[in-house]
Amino acid sequence: MTLAPDAVRTMFDRIAPVYDVMNRVMTAGLDVRWRRLAAASAVSRGDRVLDAACGTGDLAIADRRAGADKVTGLDFSERMLERARRKDASVEWVQGDLLALPFADGTFDAATVGFGVRNVADLELALRELRRVLRSGGRLAILEITKPRGVLRPFFSLWFDRIVPLIGKALPGGSAYTYLPASVKRFPDAETLTRLLEDCGFADVHVRLLAGTIVALHVGTAQ
């Protein structure tokens, strides 16, 4: 079951105080490296970059450090943005909806999304909006949890289905992490997301699986 947009916003407002801690715990700190990889794969020096569903801002800041001239971080959770603003004042932080981006066509040279597209009500619309605000030839990088495969699959199932929700319950507001396993299970696998990106106007889409196939980094070029 997909949560309604207002329910998702409320959930992320609630988990904002523990969001960074949970990211580090869930990934053993590897999410920092993954964000650097995502930024490096899409951003060139001097670019105007959108980081959509930016959360507390870590990927937007990685985009800035990758050489972007101007970075805009967008999220519909004001509580998340409050924390992002404290981290880096050089980024433009905007409250807005990934399904109706408040930017003109072709505004950006590159776009990134880190662990955000899994939570939108209409994935295809979100990808088409990202394509719309990118110039032709602009790059998109999407970092997202995906369905695990191979011999490590049982371990990841135990980790995300049972252990992570229990850790979340121990933290203020973290009970919302019981939503994580369901959101991963209904999200397209890496190959399906690749095809959807191609259908939404991206070419040369390639995917890199990380952390034993539990995380996928998709990179494509706006046609």
* Tens-place pLDDT, residues 2-58: 567 787 788 888 888 888 988 888 888 999 999 999 999 999 999 999 999 999 999
User: Of 67-71, 132-136, 142-146, 153-157, which gets the smallest average pLDDT?
Assistant: 153-157
How far is residue 130's CA from residue 142's CA, in Å, rounded to a whole number? 11
pLDDT of residue 105: 98
* 196-39-48 Cα angle (round to 5): 90
pLDDT band at 171 (very low <50, low <70, confident <90, very high): low
How many helices and strands, by DSSP H and E, does the chain display?
10, 7
Please, what sign has the CA dihedral across residues 160, 124, 122, 135? positive
Residue 175 has pLDDT above 70, yes or no: no
Q: End-to-end alpha-carbon separation of the chain, Å? A: 33
Share of the chain above pLDDT 90, in %: 65
Q: Which of 157-161, 169-173, 181-185, 196-200 has the highest mean pLDDT?
A: 196-200
Domains and CATH numbers, the chain: 5-222 (3.40.50.150)
pLDDT of residue 149: 73
